[in-house]
A and B are shown apart, each in its own frame.
Chain A
Amino acid sequence: MPGLQIENLHLSVGGRVLLARFSLTVGPGEVTTVMGPSGCGKSSLLSWLCGTIEPAFRASGQIWLDGVPIAGLPPERRRLGILFQDDLLFPHLSVGENLAFALPRWIRGRRHRWARVEAALREADLAGFAGRDPATLSGGQRARVALMRTLLAEPRALLLDEPFGGLDRELRQRVRRFVFDHARWAALPTLLVTHDPADAEVAGGAVVEFPNFGAKLLPLRNSGRRPA
C-alpha cells in the first residue's frame, strides 16, 4: 500500500502521555497538517518518525512506508526527508556541495553528479549559485536550497517541521507554494507540522489538531519536563 501510515502510536515523556493510540494515513501527493500549540508533541512525532527522538521519550507503534515497516530501522535507512524551520545548510560546504552531499551514491562521476546539482539549482531559480557560500544567501534562497537538498536524497515521504516559521509573510507564501508544488509533483506523502492556520489552508489536505483526543482523555501526570 503506497503512502505513509502511522499505526497505533503511543508517545510519552517522563510519565506524561503526549499521544495514545494515534493512527494516521497520508497518501502519495497528499499534504496532511498537524496543528497545535508548542509542547503538544507535534515535533516529537516527526522526530519519532525519523528515528532521531531523544532517549527520554518512550514510544511504541509502527510506521509503514509504501507498505514496508520502518519503525525499527536506523534514521539513515528510513528514506524520510525532513525540513526544519532552520534550514541547516552545512556551513563548511558550498551551495553546490550541500546538494551533492545529498545525491545518492549510484549517480557516479563528478561531471554527472555536478550536472544533477546544476539542474536542481535551475529548478529552484538559483542557476549559477553552486559555488556560493550558503551564509551569503537570503532566507528564501536558503529555504529553497534546503528543499532541493532533501529531495535530491530521493526520500519516499516528506516531513515538514514548521519550515516556514522563520520567513516573513510574503516570502512565506512563495516558499510554501514552492515546497508544496514539489511535494505533489514528486507524489510524496507529506506531513506538515505547524501552528499557523494559513499553512494548513494552503496545504489543502487533512488537518489533525493536537492535543489529540486520545491524549486528552488520559490523565496528565506531573512532570518537570516539557518536550521541545
Chain B
Amino acid sequence: MAAALQQLAAYTGRRSAWLGWLPPLTLLVFLGPIAAGLLGTVLPAFGYLPALGGERLSLEPWHQLASAPGLGRALRATLISGFLSTVLALALTVLVFAAGHGTLALGRVKRAMTPLLAVPHLATAVGLAFLIAPSGWLARLAAPWAGWRTPPDVAVVQDSLGLALALGLILKETPFLVLMTFGALGQARADDHLRLARTLGYGPVQAWLKIVLPLVYAQIRLPVYAVLAYSLSVVDMAIVLGPTTPPPLAPLVLRWFNDSDLSMRFQAAAGACLQLVLVALAIGLWRIAESVFGWLARPWLCGGGRGGSGFLPGVAAWIGLALLFGLSLGSLLGLATWSLAGRWRFPERWPEQLSAEPWLEHAGRLLGPAWTTLVAGAISALVALALVTGCLENESRRQRPPGLGALTLLYLPLLAPQIGFLFGVQVLLVWARLDGSWLGLIWSHLLFVLPYVFLALADPYRSLDPRYARSALALGKPPWLVWTRIKLVMLLRPLLVALAVGFAVSVAQYLPTLFAGGGRFATLTTEALGLSAGGDRRVVGQLALMLAALPLLGFGIALAVPAWRFRRRRAMRAGG
C-alpha cells in the first residue's frame, strides 16, 4: 500500500525526466522554424540575402514589388475570394445551426460533413473545376437546352474576380466551421440557454441568433480567423480555380519565388511580407467589424422582437446545404468518372466507355507520388502523435493546464500564411544542408501536422477521468504501465483519429513539399497541381481521386480499428 501511494505521489507530483523535455522540444520543433522562417523572409524583403549577393539593407525589393505588373488585380482577386468565402461560409454555418439546432437532421448533417472535411482542398478544387468548367459536367447537362455544340466561351473557372475560388473555399471551409461550432455548443451551454429563450417567447431562429450565436462565436473566433487567413493566402486551390493573369497574391508570389531569374527572390520576399501584412490587417479588420456588429446589434438584441417559426430560414438552410453537398459529392464523382473515362467528347454526358484502362495506362506515373505521399504522411503523423501524446501526458502528470497563450501559439502556423515563412524555412534548410532530404520534408510537414494533431487530441486526452489512472496506480502498477495499458488503450479511438487528422494534413501539403523538398519529392499534390493546367484530365482525375481517397481511408481505419477492438465493450463504443 505504501509503495503504491508513493508511486501515486511520484506520478502526480513529480514530472518524469524525459517527459518534461517534450513540451519545450515540441515548441522548438514547430515554433523555432516559423520564427526563423519569418526572419528569413523579412530580411531578403529588405535586400539582405548574402547567398544571392544582397549584403545591404534597402527598400529596392519594395519598389520592385510596387511596380510589378498586375499587383492591383492580384490583390483584388485575393481580397474578394478571401472575404467572400469566409463571410459566406460563416453565414451558412450560422444559418444551418439557427434553423436546425436540436433537430435530428442536424446530427445527420454533422456525420455527413466529417468526411468532406477530410478531402484535401486540392482534390475538391480539381473536382469542382471538372464540374463547373465550360466543358464540365454542368455545361454538358445544360447543353441540350442551351444548344451548345462546343463548350461555351465563359470564364466560369479562373474568373478574374476569384469567384470560382471563393466557391471552392466555401465548399471546404463550411464543414470546418460547422464541426468547430458543434464542439463549441457544449461549452456555451447552448441547449439550456436556447430552451430558456424559447420559454420567454422567442422563435427558434431568433433565440439562436440572439443568445447562442454571441456565446458560440466567442468560442469559434480563432477557427474563423484561421479560415480568413487561409482563404486569403491559399495557393493550391487558387492555382486551379483562381484567375491566372495575374493570379491572387499568394500564387503570384510563388511564381516569383520560382522564377529562373534569381534576383526575383527579393521581390518575392517582399511580396511574401505583403501577404503577411495583408492577413494581419484582415484579421484586425475582422476583429473591429465584430465589435461594430456587436454594438449595432444591441438594440435589436434587447428590442423584444420574437421572430416567427423559422420556416424561411429553414428552407434557406436546406437549399444551402443541398448546394454544398451536391457540389462536393459531384466533384468527387466527377474525379472518379474522369479517372475511368475513355473517349469523352463535348457535349456527351457520359464517356463512351468506363474502364480501368486509364488507370493501368498511367500506373507508372501514379505509384511513385502515391508512395511518397503515403510515407511522408505516415511518418509525420506518427512523429506528431508521439510528441503530442508526450506533451499531454506530461501536462496531466504535472496537473497544470496550459493557458490561452499556448493555444494561440499553437494556432500560429494555422494563422500565418505559409508563403510568408516557408521561403525562410527553405533558406534555413539550405543552410543546414537538409533541403531536399526526407528529414527536411518531414520536418516541414510537421509544422502543420503537429498543431492539428494537438487540436484533435487535446480535448479527449484532458477529459479522460483521471481516477482510472489513479486507481490503477493504487493497485501497484508502475506509471509507464498505467500509461500504456490503461490510458492509451482507453484513448485508442481519439489517438487514431488524431493520427488520421495528421495524415490528412500531411497529404494535402503543397508549399512545404515544394520548398523543403527542393523539387526532389513528387507527391500526389505536387503532381496534380503540376498537371492541372492543360494536363490530361484522366491523370489529373486519378491523382486528385487518390488524394481524396488516402485521407478518407485513414479515417476509415481510425474508426474501424477501435470499433473492432472494443466490439464487446459497450461503454467504449459510446460517444462521438
Contact = CB atoms under 8 A, between A and B. Distances in A.
Nearest to B203: A76
Interface stretch (A26-34, A79-87, A171-179, A183-191): A79-87
Nearest to B192: A88
B201 A153 contact: yes
A76 B302 CA distance: 17
A77 B310 CA distance: 13
Of the candidates A51, A92, A149, the one having the most CB atoms from chain B within 10 angstroms of its own CB is A92
A113 B309 contact: no
Interface in A72-112: 74-82, 84, 86, 88, 90-93, 97, 100-107, 110
A131 interface: no
A149 B200 contact: yes
A153 to B, nearest CB: 4
A107 B189 CA distance: 29
Interface stretch (B207-215, B283-291, B335-343): B207-215
Interface in A4-56: 50-52, 55
B193 A88 contact: yes
A93 B302 CA distance: 9
Contacts of B189: 88
A82 B196 contact: yes
A107 B304 contact: yes
Contact of A93 (B196, B199, B207, B301): B301
Contact of B199 (A75, A103, A104): A75
Contacts of B215: 90-92
A212 interface: no
Contacts of A79: 201
B195 interface: yes
Contact of B302 (A55, A100, A150): A100
B304 A90 contact: no
Interface residues of B, number: 29
B306 A101 contact: no
Contacts of A90: 193, 211, 215
Interface string B201-231: 1111001001100110010000000000000
B405 interface: no
A90 B305 CA distance: 17
Contacts of B298: 97
A81 B196 CA distance: 9
A91 B196 CA distance: 13
A91 B210 CA distance: 12
A102 B305 contact: no
Interface of A: 50-52, 55, 74-82, 84, 86, 88, 90-93, 97, 100-107, 110, 113, 149-150, 153
Given A55-B104, A79-B201, A105-B306, 20 more contacts: A52-B195, A74-B203, A76-B200, A76-B306, A80-B199, A81-B199, A82-B196, A84-B192, A90-B193, A92-B214, A93-B302, A100-B303, A101-B197, A103-B304, A104-B201, A104-B304, A105-B303, A105-B305, A110-B299, A113-B304
Which 10 residue pairs are nearest across A and B when measured between Cβ atoms? Answer: A100-B302, A75-B198, A105-B304, A92-B214, A153-B200, A52-B195, A97-B302, A88-B196, A76-B198, A76-B201
